[in-house]
Amino acid sequence: MIRSFFSHRLVWCLLLVTGVYAPHPGNAADGKFSSHPPLRTAPPSAPRPMGKGTSSFVDPARGNDANQGTEPSPWKTIRHALTRLKAGDTLYLRGGAFYENVSISLSGKKEAPITIRSYPGEQAVIDGGWREFFESPEQAWEPVPQGVPGEYRSTRFYPNVRDVIGAFGDSMVGLQTYWHAVDLRATNELVISEGERGVKPIYCGPGVWYNREDGRIHVRLANTHLDWPGVPNYQGETDPRKLPLVLAPFRSVPLFIDQASHVSFQDLVIRGGGFDTVIMQQGIGIEFDNVTVHCGTYGLRAWNTGPFRFHNSALYGNIPPWGSRTETSLMTRSADSGARDIARLTGHALLVVEGGEESSVYAWPFNHDWEISHSEFTDGHDGIYLGGVSVRFHHNLLDNCHDDGIYLSPVHPYAPQDIRITQNRITRCLTALASGGLHPPRGKVHICRNLIDLTGSVNYHRPSEKEPSPKPSYGNPIGDHGSPLWAPMFICQNTFILTSSRIMDAGALSDTSVERPRWVFNNLFVYLDDLPLIYRLMPPSPKYDVLKNDIRVDGNLYWTMKQTPPPKTDFLDAFRASKPFEESKTKYAPGLEASSLVADPQFLKFDPPNQSDFRLGKTSPAAGKGVILPAECEDPLRPSDGRRPDIGAIPAGGETFKAGRLGRIDGGTSTSSLPSPELKR
């Protein structure tokens, strides 16, 4: 059986460091970075002890595929080793980088899985990129004759690769993939409109451009000089010969799980992906445990896979801190449109659930029976697509998405879904929970006990000629952009911290329908700005008609932290004295918002953008004032004695949940802008 990683949690915690992956060449084991400090760090190695059973070994430095595959006589390549494995075997990868695209179709057994992992205390990296740009950059680049200052090109030719995607090798901060040379070479850094012709050439930070005419890769690492509040400029090394880069062709897929069954991947780093970094097709019983994936355009894409367990792992996106939604929204324009794409392939989505089948032959299975826990998803245009999956998504960090955080729309008209999103920390997303697919959902969505703190800004509009120092952009918790219908949705016991909203429920009652209920109970809505004066249910409209739609809303608390002028607190009383309130009792006996409050929740500490503690104080009006949840609603902390719960995600006097890898993130505290998430005790 797969050995639980948490049995070794204490030992591992004591060994965590803040570097990225010592001791690989060119990486910053000393904590100094030639490029830019990393956005995310990961454990450099894991002390998980060796398991029992048949073991084989691969060593990229001293191995040989003609060897026996034993510890003293290891193989060299993963590709060769996979032809020798059977159910119950463990393949140990010695420390270092394996420059391979690994495809695995092996069959383990539920009681005897195949395990592919790093050797204890060492860090193995599966890298789909070209090794010369990482290991010998001084020989890989040359200045471009008649090029702009700081422009270099590859000394070798790389024909027929379509495009190139990459990152700084010392920090794994992403590079822009430029669509046109004029933008890579531009000195202008502001969006300057040229009318129907689009915008003037614009440099959006360090990046690469692939010359399809001669097969050379061009790179420019010039510093940036924007006056963009809260957003750093690139101030690192500008000569690519002096620092490692991870560069991969468009079609590089470092790990392809192709109808493999009962395979566990442990303690690995995967990087050097092109359009896709990890693909799963027809996988059965697949597990990722302590796996760090540095995403290309996409991180993990899955078809027809389940059961699937993603635990204590990460999908870290490729969007650099100076990147914006303006250039990374994956728009495509025809050549004669007059406009042009800027950096189209940079970090679009972290996890994508697909609904297609192999040549439309296999109608089953859909993606099903997933558990995603204690993991991290960061730095993408979009975050994760969960629509159409039966999934338990809990104790995770989702942070810094320029568009949708969790996408709930199914991608197939017949895909059943049972989505349970509980005890996660969701920060810095343009829309935390979004829908916008082409197919009506089948199944239910439970959203419970999450901290959704959107007081941190999102890099939306790049500085422009008209606005060289743009105002911060902030997100909404729930939104729709074109979906046919939302699923039946139960939104209970969450804490929403928002800058502002047009409506009291912040979108929680958006897009309801007769056949798809929306129950919103015991949530805590706090705004930095004024309380919205519009209450969605008064006056009623056909779209939100409580007599037709199964809308149940109660036990919520609303408050603003802005005290001047004093917040208006009588709007709920006015609603409860209205005819719509009496009519609402036909569907929900107490009446909508019968027990809801407008009051200060009295957090233990609230000091955005500095540290806040969202636990409730001893005299909080939210304590014991929630409604008893119907049995249909998910709640892992439901009071066992039948008493009324506290309002919000964190019970008064209770422990906060722990999210992210090794539970390193306190779900009850937050800052508006997360620091570099370092795994440390």
Per the structure block, which two tokens stand in for 291? 């796996």
Contact criterion met (CB below 8 Å) for 493 and 524: no
8-17, 183-192, 509-518 — most confident range: 183-192
For β-strands 489-492 and 518-521, DSSP reports them as parallel
| Arithmetic mean of pLDDT, 541-550 | 68
- Write out 84-120 in H/E/C secondary structure: CCCCCCEEEECCEEEECCEEECCECECCECEEEEECC
Q: What is the band of 12 on the pLDDT scale with cuts at 50, 70, 90? A: very low
Q: Among 13-27, 145-159, 313-327, 532-546, where is mean pLDDT lowest?
A: 13-27
pLDDT at res. 116: 98
AA letter at 251 = R
Q: What is the band of 667 on the pLDDT scale with cuts at 50, 70, 90? A: confident
| Arithmetic mean of pLDDT, 179-188 | 95
Q: Per residue in 613-656, pLDDT tens?
A: 999 999 999 999 999 999 999 999 999 898 999 999 999 888 89
Q: Among 55-59, 102-106, 674-678, where is mean pLDDT lowest?
A: 674-678
pLDDT at res. 122: 95
Q: Does pLDDT of 295 surpass 50?
A: yes
Q: What is the band of 150 on the pLDDT scale with cuts at 50, 70, 90? A: very high
Could you count the other beta carbons within 10 Å of the beta carbon of residue 77?
17
pLDDT at res. 1: 35
Please give the model's pTM, rounded to 2 decimal places: 0.93
Which residues are CB-contacts of 124 (< 8 A; sequence separation ≥ 6)? 93, 94, 95, 96, 98, 117, 118, 267, 268, 269
Better-predicted residue by pLDDT, 539 or 69: 69
Q: Does pLDDT of 195 surpass 60?
A: yes
* DSSP letter, residue 472: P
Angle at 170 between CA 165 and CA 174, to 5 degrees: 30
Q: Per residue in 330-371, pLDDT tens?
A: 566 665 666 788 888 888 999 999 876 665 555 567 889 999
Q: Does pLDDT of 495 surpass 70?
A: yes
pLDDT at res. 336: 64
Q: Among 17-21, 291-295, 551-555, where is mean pLDDT lowest?
A: 17-21
Q: Does pLDDT of 557 surpass 60?
A: yes
Which residues are CB-contacts of 123 (< 8 A; sequence separation ≥ 6)? 21, 22, 24, 44, 45, 95, 267, 269
Residue 663: closest CA among 13, 38, 117: 13
pLDDT at res. 511: 73
**Average pLDDT across the chain, whole number:** 87
| Arithmetic mean of pLDDT, 397-425 | 89
pLDDT at res. 559: 92
Residue 217: closest CA among 286, 132, 289, 117: 132
pLDDT at res. 161: 96
Q: Does pLDDT of 431 surpass 90?
A: yes
* DSSP letter, residue 357: -
Residue 168: closest CA among 211, 205, 122: 205
Contact criterion met (CB below 8 Å) for 521 and 489: no
User: What whole-number distance in Å separates Cα of residue 18 and Cα of residue 13?
Assistant: 12
Per the structure block, which two tokens stand in for 679? 């795994």
* DSSP letter, residue 199: B
Q: What is the band of 46 on the pLDDT scale with cuts at 50, 70, 90? A: confident
Better-predicted residue by pLDDT, 103 or 51: 103
Q: How far is CA 69 from CA 91, 92, 105, 213, 263, in A?
A: 9, 10, 20, 43, 19
* DSSP letter, residue 226: -
| Arithmetic mean of pLDDT, 410-435 | 89
pLDDT at res. 332: 60
pLDDT at res. 24: 37
Q: What is the band of 11 on the pLDDT scale with cuts at 50, 70, 90? A: very low
pLDDT at res. 491: 96
Q: Per residue in 275-294, pLDDT tens?
A: 999 999 999 999 999 999 99
Q: Does pLDDT of 5 surpass 90?
A: no
Could you count the other beta carbons within 10 Å of the beta carbon of residue 152?
23
Give the bridge partners for 605, in sequence order. 613
Percentage of the chain with pLDDT > 90?
65
| Arithmetic mean of pLDDT, 117-125 | 96
Q: What are the residue ranges spanned by the domains of the chain? A: 1-54+88-140+148-329+344-358, 480-670
Percentage of the chain with pLDDT > 70?
88
Which residues are CB-contacts of 588 (< 8 A; sequence separation ≥ 6)? 551, 552, 553, 554
Q: What is the band of 329 on the pLDDT scale with cuts at 50, 70, 90? A: low
Could you count the other beta carbons within 10 Å of the beta carbon of residue 654?
12
Q: Per residue in 202-246, pLDDT tens?
A: 999 999 999 999 999 999 999 999 999 989 999 999 999 999 999
pLDDT at res. 533: 65
